[in-house]
Structures are given as structure tokens and as C-alpha cells.
Chains A and B, each alone.
Chain A
């Protein structure tokens, strides 16, 4: 009888655990679809056959992403290296560092490549680190993407997609304050 009650308890526990797992799995599949334009057309992030990390508007606001340096902090495989001079900047994706000459990661704003070459140092200068104040989405593409983004995108690309005006009136105000920053 004692064993029987234990078995019943175990069965009950297993059943409850199974229901919980079922509930969890149901919830875990309820992921919002993220649309990216990595290949110049709108596609579901999960179906794009390239490595893309999409940072949504909500994540940009929550994480306080303000420039390329912040993007690198929140993306594994991307390093933003900065020397003493402000223009002494380099983006490295998957370890392919621009140790000579021009930056090898394309930085785009609405598909326009804004990456340039620093005059005195290797890498991309000041322009590859633009201030983002109206970005709707950031797409970090890893691996050679020259066919999509041109000659600079040898190691990958960071594409900033700005917010398009829509058919509904809306406004946004955001304030970010901190100490010792």
C-alpha cells in the first residue's frame, strides 16, 4: 500500500511535470516573428540562410544601444576596438581584424555603406561608429557578404535600419541618465 501510494504520487508527479513541460513548450513556441531585410527583401529571421543577429527596437531601447561600440558589447563574435585617437577604430567579426588598411566590415545605414578608411591608422575611422537615435532595427551579418553589401563586407556587415514613418501618428520620448558616464 505504501509502495502503491508512492507509485501513484510518482505518476501524479510525472503527469504534472509533463503538463508543465507541455505548457512551457507551448509558451516557448510563441515567439514573435522577427522580420529582417538582410537579403534586400523581407524574410523571417529564422528562415534566412545566413548568420544574422537582429536587434529589435525594443532591445535597442532596453539595452541602451547608442552606437557600434554598444552593438559589439551585446553581440558575441563582434569586437569594437578603439585606440587613443577617436578615429582609431576597428570592427572585428569572427576574428578577422583589419590589421592593415581599410575596414573589412561594412557599416550601413538603410543599405548605404558608410564605412571609410582612417587616414592615420588601420580600420574605419570615426564614421563607422555613428550615433543611433532613430534606429528601428540593427542586423549584424557574419561572414563574407560582398555580393549583398559591396567590397567592404569581407568579414560581415552591420546594417542600421532607420525608423520609417507610418500611417499612424506616434511619438517617442526617452531619457537615459547615469552616474560617472
Chain B
């Protein structure tokens, strides 16, 4: 759901103009987390912007625009894809590139369709619900000065902003296959995991919707 509204017009006719816009939005998220039963991949937030335009002279205008938005994002949906085959490590690589103990790795030949995957973001053990997602808070203001000297036009842009973004990945994923593809290229402790069998799902669909707009004045 998104609701937005705006109002603009002259404050002093021909000299000073103002505008105000506001919006609020709330998307639950298209996918269901199979571990918690909650929607995931959504976002909610609100924003407001204000605008002043001053025609100082016919050739010189000043515009100030300020904006503030605050968003919260739930976790992105994530799914673990089961390995489809075992790939043998070439004998020539054993002992030189890969540890002799690892003679094969599990691999995924092709990623299944999104409809065949289940979202497996693990639940937060402290709350039983989903892990928190990300927060974003942005405040910005811009001063634009336009000078029109006829053959030459000058534009001055001055901008200040303050952005806060808390996006630490706090979650873990339900994936029982990682242990099968552990590869040791060098003797321990240089151990890492190939993320062959993980893929994020990108929610961008909805079943149906209604979009209406109304404009008055102008």
C-alpha cells in the first residue's frame, strides 16, 4: 500500500511559491518464510518534502528543497538449493590445490524456478520471530540558485544531507548442505565454504492491485 499527497502553489503571486509532499508506504513482502510463517521481503516507511521557490528577479531564482524519509526493510527472502550432483575433484589437484581429504564436492547444475523454492530464513532464537531487517533514515536539503544572463546561464548547487543506514546482516539461513561442499585449498586454518548452493529470491510480483490518482486545481 502506498498513499501519497502533495500541494503546491503561489505564496506571493509571481514571487514566492511553495510545495509540500508526503507519503507513507507499507508492503508486507511477497514471500512467506517457511520457518516462521511470516511475510518477508517487505518495507514500510514514510517521507515528507518541502519546497520554496523564490523569483528574486526575472533572471535570478532561488529554490530550497528539504526532504526526510525513514524506511524499515524486512529481511530479503533466501532459499537454500539442494545439491543436484557430486563433482569429483581432479586427481591432479589433490594434494596441491585441494586437500587430499576432499575428493569430491556437491554442486548445483541449475537453479530451480522460484516457485519451486522455499524461503528458509531461520527464526531468531531469542524471539521466535524473524530477525530484524534494515533501517534507513535520510534527511537532505538543497539550495539551487539559477542566474540567467541571456547568452550565459549559471547554476549553483548546494547540498547537505545526513543519512543513517543500519543494515547489519543479523540472520542465519536454513541450509543443511554447506557441510558437504567444504573445500580446503590450503592446510587449516584457511578453510572457506563455496556458496554454490545459495541464491537470493527477488520479490517483484503481486497477484492484483489497484492504483488510483486524483489531481485537482492546476
Contacts and interface: CB of A to CB of B under 8 A. Distances in A.
Interface of A: 40-41, 61-62, 64, 66, 69, 73, 82-87, 109-112, 114, 116, 125-127, 130-131, 133-134, 162-181
B134 A165 contact: no
A41 B25 CA distance: 34
Most buried by B among A61, A131, A163, A173: A131
Contacts of B204: 69, 73
Contact of A133 (B13, B21, B27, B78): B21
A169 B167 contact: no
A127 B9 CA distance: 30
B211 A169 contact: no
Given A86-B73, A110-B144, A180 B206 contact: yes
A82 B136 contact: no
Contact of B169 (A85, A163, A175, A176): A85
Interface stretch (B45-53, B88-96, B102-110): B45-53
B19 A169 contact: no
A66 B138 contact: no
Contacts of B161: 114
B211 A176 contact: yes
Contact of B5 (A165, A173, A176): A173
B13 A86 contact: no
B206 A181 contact: yes
A138 B185 CA distance: 48
B9 A131 contact: no
23 contacts: A84-B78, A86-B133, A87-B134, A109-B67, A110-B65, A110-B144, A162-B49, A165-B8, A165-B19, A165-B52, A167-B17, A168-B217, A169-B10, A169-B217, A170-B216, A172-B4, A172-B7, A172-B216, A173-B3, A173-B4, A174-B4, A177-B210, A179-B209
A131 B200 contact: no
Contact of B155 (A40, A61, A162, A175): A40
Contact of B209 (A62, A66, A176): A176
Contacts of B5: 171-174
Nearest to B14: A167
Interface in B179-218: 200, 202, 204-218
Nearest to A41: B153
A176 B213 CA distance: 8
A66 B69 CA distance: 13
Nearest to A62: B211
Nearest to A127: B163
Contacts of A114: 140, 161
A164 B51 contact: yes
Contact of A172 (B69, B71, B214): B214
Given A164-B51, A170-B7, A172-B4, 13 more contacts: A41-B153, A61-B211, A133-B21, A165-B18, A170-B8, A174-B3, A177-B1, A178-B208, A178-B210, A179-B206, A180-B28, A180-B206, A181-B27
B6 interface: yes
